[in-house]
Structure 1
Amino acid sequence: MVTGIALILFIAFYLLYSTSKKMTGVGVLGFEKWVDNHRNTSQYLGLGLMTISILLSCCIWGLGSGAFTFFVLLMTVASLVVLLAPLRLISYATMGGTVVFFLICELVLF
């Protein structure tokens, strides 16, 4: 479940990051042109996904721990997106491999 919450949070932050006026057109995942043409929709979708992520986090771990875990995940995901997106290191292959790796780790450890 942590992997799913982190993936939803990644997509939400990447949508919000793509709508930023300071971001240069990276275009690594392919849907950035749609995001650029539909800024308001993308921002609402990003905020909605972020809200879903914090609600799921609070439902699983409780209000205090869930909010703390959400903000830790948000800081981690945001740092990775800001560092790796301009270097064009975010792709579907790296995202898929990372999600599968963490999902296996989550299922084996928990």
Structure 2
Amino acid sequence: MITAILILCFTGFYLGYATTKRQKVPVHLHIENWCQKKSKVANSLGYVLLLFACSLTIYHFGWGSGIFTFSVILMTIASLVILLQPLHLITFKTLIPTVLLIFLIEFSLL
């Protein structure tokens, strides 16, 4: 459940980040071109994914701790995206092993 929340939160924030026109977002995940062409749809989809991730977090942890956990997750993911994207470190070669590692850690601790 936590892995799904992290993936939804990352995808939602990244869709919003890739639609920015202030800086040039490098094309590594091949979704950036679509986000630049259809920025309103990408922003709307990003907001929906973030809202869905927030609702899953509230469902999993409860109201107070769910909102707090979601804000911590969102701040962490937003900081990582803003720091790592200009260094060209967000690619499929780094995302897939990271998600698999988080998934294995989540289910090995249960």
- TM class by shorter chain equals over 0.9
* Structure 2 residue aligned with 1:32: 32
SS class of match (1:52):
helix
TM-score when normalising by structure 2: 0.96
1:76 is aligned to 2:97: no
Structure 2 gap ranges (5+): none
Distance 1:77 1:23 in 2: 19
| 2:99 paired with 1:99 | yes
TM-score by length of 1: 0.96
Once residues 44 and 82 of structure 2 are traced to their aligned partners in structure 1, the CA distance between those partners, rounded to angstroms, is 20
- In the alignment, the residues of structure 2 paired with residue 54 and residue 35 of structure 1 have an alpha-carbon distance, to the nearest angstrom, of 22
Following TM superposition, the consecutive aligned residue runs of length 4 or more in structure 1 with deviations greater than 4 angstroms are none
Partner residue in 2 for 1:109: 109
Q: Aligned ranges for residues 43-62 of structure 1 at < 5 Å? A: 43-62=43-62
Q: Distance in 2 between matches of 1:31 and 1:103?
A: 23
CA RMSD of aligned residues (A): 0.8
My pick for the range that moved more, 37-46 or 24-33, is 24-33
Secondary structure (helix, strand or coil) at the match of 1:36 reads helix
| Shift in Å, 1:22 | 1.8
CA distance in 1, matches of 2:11, 2:67: 18
Identical-pair percentage = 39
Matching of residues 82-93 of structure 1 within 5 Å: 82-93=82-93
Q: Secondary structure at the match of 1:86?
A: coil
- What's the CA shift for 1:24? 1.3
